[in-house]
Amino acid sequence: MKRGIIAVNGYFENAASRGQTEELRRALEQNGVATATVKTNALALGVRGEGVYAEVPPCDFCVFLDKDVAVARMLEKSGVKLFNGAEAIRLCDDKMLTFISLSGEGIRMPESISSPLMYKEYDDGAFLDGVERRLGYPTVVKKVYGSMGAGVFLARNRGELESYFKEFRLVPHLYQKFIGKGGTDLRIVTVGGKAVAAMRRSNGADFRSNIELGGRGECVSLTENQRRIAERASALLGLEYAGVDILSDETGDYLCEVNSNAFFGGIERATGVNVAKLYADRICGKIYRRIT
């Protein structure tokens, strides 16, 4: 009997996450896989003696829709095959680590400066002087952990920059050069390292284009370079499934973010592509037909 599980965070749920889980469950069951949904907070996991213990329903694989890297690593240590894997999730969840991992690989990215590690509230002004000199205004301020546009802000002057720095100084965050005019980007979904769907996201009321913040999606064709960026980034980060965001200006394209568990409802509606089926087919091919 073919068996799989879908692991979700036990403390977060919205319409998009419920829809994603249900679509994947149906697509897997259409491949003959009996699929159960489990909440990661309900799993008995830990380290004891010399090893990891994990009380997990019998399964051939787990579609891991959480971002809890510790849970993901314990599942892998106990022998569960994850889609996506723990290391890929770790590299994508931290936006600065994503950029560092992809540096030197022929992928252009916006200039990004990591905020220094601080153990108490202290600032001599020198760091922000450098940010201001290198990036100018407006400057994008991002918490390195965050989804759906949360934790992303725009500093338009020194006063706003200092305000965000004061608010986030004890939280990992970065400062990034503002690209283009704001309010628009490309979202590309890759499955098995191949671009399968793309939409332009636009939001006239916010510099963030996320669908969850009111952005609208429109099906688009990709240029060769945009496809290359999405597929190269997905491969380098070890992602079987990814949402890759690209910004553009008059000089060309920039990789903005890579998401290891991006919601696909919006891009399915915009493009008509059944992403859930493509992902389920890919998983079953890897597990049961040993495709590479």
Same fold for the pair 2-84 and 91-108+181-273+280-286? no
Q: Please state, for a pLDDT cut of 70, what percent of the chain lies above it.
A: 95
Q: Quick check: 179 and 112 in contact, CB under 8 A?
A: no
What are 152-182's pLDDT values in tens digits? 999 999 999 999 999 998 899 999 999 988 7
Q: How confident is the model at residue 215 (pLDDT cuts 50, 70, 90)?
A: low
Q: Given a cut of 70, is residue 64 above it in pLDDT?
A: yes
Residues 176 and 172: their CA atoms lie apart, in Å, by: 14
CATH 3.40.50.1100 fits 2-84, yes or no: no
**How many Cβ atoms sit within 10 Å of the Cβ of residue 188?**
27
Average pLDDT over residues 96-121: 94
pTM for the full model?
0.91
Domain 91-108+181-273+280-286 CATH class label:
alpha beta
| Token pair of 37 as six digits | 């949904």
Could you say which of 3.40.1160.10, 1.10.287.1770, 3.40.50.300, 3.30.1490.20 is the CATH number of the domain covering 112-177? 3.30.1490.20
Burial class, 129, CB count within 10 angstroms (exposed 0-12 / middle 13-18 / buried 19+): exposed
What are 222-280's pLDDT values in tens digits? 999 999 999 999 999 999 999 999 999 999 999 999 999 999 999 999 999 999 999 99
Greatest Cα pair distance, the chain, in angstroms, is 63
